Structure 1
Amino acid sequence: MEQRIVEKAQELFFRYGLKSITMDDIASNLGASKKTLYQYFKDKDSLVDAVVQREIEQDMHECGHIATSCDNAVHEVFKAFDMLQEMLTTMNPAIIFEMQKYHPEAYKKMNAHKNKFFVNITKENLIRGIAEGNYREDLNIDILSRFRIESVFLGFNPEIFMQGKFTLVEVEMELMEHFLYGICTPKGQKLIHKYKKQREK
């Protein structure tokens, strides 16, 4: 039951945002009583925290699989974008800023995950790409790994990219391509063209 509650909460939070979904809404969508929810979670804060933890575990599993199953570093970036795109199709962009404002402890946990796991996996990708000859040898890995992750989260900021003018997928695709073209060698740029064509089919 605890897992069902977390899964349903994640679905509703992603679709409608954190602020507008109440414990009553989650209970109603589960066909359960609010009392049942409080047997497992003392309040909404603890439930949001559990949703963040579930998302972290899913990220780690999926990113690990991508890193080991791709042909090269450029391919890995495109596959990671596919994972991001799938998430963006069901995600309300306001969720990040609502979490920061209304659930600061869960936001701290998510931010720590971003700054440790995502930065490290990006560093590994950069090291791999340099070794393959697909990325430039003169890259500052520490700076660019942090820049790449921050640029992903930048796409969620409605003050910079107005909702309605751009879709999240459009923004993230443009940012990803900009990043790749900046770090790739001519050999790596050929791979960018290859994977872009594959996506267009």
Structure 2
Amino acid sequence: MKSKKADDLIKEKSKEMFFSYGLRSISMDDVANLSGISKRIIYRYFEDKNALVRAVVKDLIQSHKRFFDTCQASAKDAIDEVIKQNSEPFEIWTPIRPRFFFDLENFFPGPWNDLELYKLIMLEGIVRNLKWGREEGLYSDQVSMVFIAEVRLHQLVNCLQPQLVETKKWSIHKFVVEFTRLYLQSITTVKGEKLLNSYLEGKEDL
């Protein structure tokens, strides 16, 4: 098996430290020591720490987007698309401590803006799904689509920042499942509820 490319190894090791200890407390020397790659080589791939942080955030965004695109492409209907999104192992976000997001927002405006822009893409995807579900007669049109989309976005963002949730009794995946169940049950029509129940039958994890 081929060894990992230097830039991938640098990003992988950086994630381990950034997620655990935040961004400000980790220096490029720390990255070099943990990755076993000299700073001279690191700077060949990333001109400064901001560029490295941006690459780490970009990886997170791309991974999340690929998964949601796959759910959309393979879904049989709007409800199926939302349920498929629960198959993602959200536990991969568990190592990300709150300090990472705090530092990102306050000291790395470029990467933070990338994340904020991606939230708008997520919101567009939620609105698209809501329109699809309403066209199919699966979702009610009695509640503002803008309001419902914002609620769903906040659900997903909170799941991606699991430290925002107080209780430690559930896994991240469990939170995603329960949020999604509550979301779908609140917006489905009688027709949609029957379809949702058929998907849920025999399943505890959607």
* Separation of aligned partners in 2, 1:36 and 1:179: 48
Listed as ranges, the gaps of 5+ residues in structure 2 are: 1-5
Give the drift of 1:69: 0.3
What SS is found at the alignment partner of 2:88?
helix
> RMSD between aligned alpha carbons?
2.8
Alignment partner, residue 83 of structure 1: 88
Give the drift of 1:175: 2.2
Listed as ranges, the gaps of 5+ residues in structure 1 are: none
Q: Give 1:72's match in structure 2, choosing from 72, 77, 85.
A: 77
Alignment partner, residue 182 of structure 1: 186
Letter in 2 for 1:50: A
Q: Give 2:122's match in structure 1, choosing from 113, 118, 122.
A: 118
Structure 1 34/67 Cα, relative in aligned 2: closer, same or farther at 3 Å? same
Deviations 1:126-172 (A, max 9, x none): 111112222113342222222211222234374x6225355433333
Alignment partner, residue 44 of structure 1: 49
What SS is found at the alignment partner of 2:103?
helix
* Separation of aligned partners in 1, 2:168 and 2:24: 21
What SS is found at the alignment partner of 2:140?
coil
Structure 1 80/87 Cα, relative in aligned 2: closer, same or farther at 3 Å? farther
Structure 1 167/27 Cα, relative in aligned 2: closer, same or farther at 3 Å? same
* Separation of aligned partners in 2, 1:61 and 1:3: 18
* Separation of aligned partners in 2, 1:151 and 1:34: 40
Give the drift of 1:48: 0.9
Structure 2-normalised TM-score?
0.79
Structure 1 60/170 Cα, relative in aligned 2: closer, same or farther at 3 Å? closer
Structure 1 21/79 Cα, relative in aligned 2: closer, same or farther at 3 Å? farther
Alignment partner, residue 139 of structure 2: 135
Alignment partner, residue 154 of structure 2: 150
Greater Cα radius of gyration, structure 1 or 2? 2
Letter in 2 for 1:138: Q
Structure 1 173/93 Cα, relative in aligned 2: closer, same or farther at 3 Å? farther
Identical-residue share of aligned pairs (%): 28
- Superposed, 1:5-44 pairs within 5 Å as 5-14=10-19, 17-19=22-24, 21-44=26-49
Structure 1 46/100 Cα, relative in aligned 2: closer, same or farther at 3 Å? same
* Separation of aligned partners in 2, 1:192 and 1:24: 52
Structure 1 161/9 Cα, relative in aligned 2: closer, same or farther at 3 Å? same
* Separation of aligned partners in 2, 1:193 and 1:8: 43
Structure 1 runs of 4+ aligned residues shifted over 6 Å read none
